[in-house]
Structure formats: C-alpha cells, structure tokens
Amino acid sequence: MMQQSNPGINSSISDWKGQEITDFQEDLRIKVNAHISEKWFYTHMKSAHPSIPRIDMLNLLSKYAGYVNWNDFVFQNQEKLQTKIAVKNPNRYFIIVPVTVLVIVGIFFLLFKLFNTRDYSFCFYDADTREPIINKKIEVRLLINDESPVNYISNLNGCLRLKTDKSKIKMVVTAQYYRTDTIVRILKKIDRNETINLHADDYALMIHYFSMMKVDDWEKRKKRLEEMFDDRAMIYQVFNDKDATGMALYNKHEFIDRMTMPSGSLKNIEILGSQFRDQKIMTLRFRINDRKK
C-alpha cells in the first residue's frame, strides 16, 4: 500500500524515520480514516522489544492491508504465520507466550505484505502487427506454486490489472485465433506496466477463411489442409443451438472431407481453440457460427 503511494520509500519498516513515518500516517488517514502517533510507531515497530498493540489498532492495520479485520487476516494467513513461528523459534525455551509471538510475527507479516503488494498492468499485443489486441476475450490462467490456478479475463482494451506481492509470476494466455502461450515475468517495482506479445494462430485463421470462401480448386484446398493437420489429430465440433447439445468428433480425414467437398456441411467455422505438435494441429475445437449464414 505505502509503496504504491510512495514508490521511493524504504522497504525496511525498522529503518523508517521522520518523513517516512509522517507519510505512512497520512496514507493511513486517507485510506482507512485512522491515525497512529509517532510514539505508537516507535513503540510497536522500531522497539527491540515491541509490545502487543490493542485489537482496534490491529483491526485498522488489517483493513489498511485489504482484510476485513485482524481475525480475517489471521484466518487467511494462519498457515504462513505458523510456519514463520516454527522457523523463528526452534527452541521451545524461547517461546514464553505463544500468543504474543503470533501477534508480533503477524504484525510484521501483515506489514510485509502491505508494502510489497502492488498493482500491475499487462497489455496484450499482436506480435506481427504490434497493435493492441482489443475487443477480444483474452483468458489468463495465473499459475501459483502450491495453489490452484486463478483465472482472469482481460478488458476490452486488451489489458489486465493484477494485484500481487510476488516478484515473479507465470501465466497461460489464451485468445481466439492466437496461439496459447505460457508467459513468465520478473515483475519490476518501479515500472509496473507490462507488454505481452501474442502470436497469431495462422492455421486457425486459414481454416476459418476456408470455411467462408467459395473456392473452385477443391484439390488445392484439400492438399493444404492435409499439410496442416497431424495424422492423429482429434477435431471437436461444439454444438451451440437448442436442438443439438454436446460434441461431434472427427478424425483428420473426416474433417477435411467435410471441409473440401462442395456439398460439405462445415461452413462458417469459428475456431474455439487449437493445440500443436511439431508445427501441426493436434487438437482443434470449433463451432458453426449460424449468425454468418
């Protein structure tokens, strides 16, 4: 929180001095309408033997960090707090009052998260045209160690805002008619605007255009499709009307026959997703876009 408002502030709370403490007091006042005195700060944050703050102050700091109150903070970070206590106190003779240790460690853990959580902006561009990818549904699957992935969707301007305290993130990005890509970024604390280039799925675009164009040379189209698909390819048609639900499955030759015969049934195809192996399509998902008929 503080580093978002004051990017140049010292990341070590124990090293804060007059103006930095004043800035923290002002930021606290603006965001949660609360005030702490400089004496309170020195007593609880800079003392070699800090005392336990009152519960109302713990609630205010927790709210400032984005939690409902202190109980919510402890509940959401219980495992991490217990791990830190176990590491810091391997000798049981140094643990006099476990609850006191939990509270003190909790405060510093809370403030650590507080000053290291930042807002980042990820904007997606076409790798070939260098133009932003707008008005498209870009799905981002954030991969987190030891946790389930978290899914996000970009806005219509082709950007995604993400709040995190991580220094490195890994995400899988999926967009229609673009190749799915796994992106790894080392996040910068100063420049928090990231640009990510996506590569067009040329094969998917070609199949889409084939299904919409009237072509006289069917043999030429068939040969091109033969080159694009792996012999073991699996092609799924997703039904999206009231009369048909589920999927239809084609192998490579069945799909190409339906695409290349003049009377073929696969027209106005909309590609939903594809996967590649050795530069050939291994899996393809599509549906018939009735609105273009």
Residues 18 and 104 reside in one and the same domain: yes
Structural domain boundaries enclosing 139: 118-198
Calculate the alpha carbon distances from 179 to 101, 174, 187, 192, 211 in Å: 50, 7, 23, 25, 20
Could you report the per-residue pLDDT of 17-74, keeping only the tens digit for each?
677 777 777 777 777 787 777 777 777 666 655 666 777 777 877 787 777 887 777 7
Q: pLDDT confidence of 288, banded at 50, 70, 90?
A: confident
For the domain that residue 283 is a member of, what is the CATH number? Answer: 3.10.450
Residues 6 and 106 reside in one and the same domain: yes
Last residue of a domain, one of 116, 131, 150: 116
pLDDT for the residue numbered 281: 92
pLDDT for the residue numbered 26: 78
Residues 167 and 263 reside in one and the same domain: no
Residues 44 and 122 reside in one and the same domain: no
Last residue of a domain, one of 116, 144, 163: 116
Residues 149 and 234 reside in one and the same domain: no
Residues 165 and 225 reside in one and the same domain: no
Burial class of residue 287 in the structure, from the number of CB atoms within 10 Å of its CB (0-12 exposed, 13-18 middle, 19+ buried): middle
Number of domains forming the structure of the chain: 3
Last residue of a domain, one of 198, 216, 235: 198
Residues 211 and 124 reside in one and the same domain: no
Q: Can you tell me the distance from the alpha carbon of 259 to that of 225, in angstroms, rounded to the nearest whole number?
A: 9
Residues 60 and 109 reside in one and the same domain: yes
Exposure string of 156-172, with b = 16+ CB inside 10 Å and e = fewer, is eebbbebeeebeebebe
Instruction: Please give the share of the chain, as a percent, with pLDDT higher than 90.
Output: 22
Q: Specify the pTM.
A: 0.53
Residues 40 and 59 reside in one and the same domain: yes
Q: Which residue has the higher pLDDT, 101 or 277?
A: 277
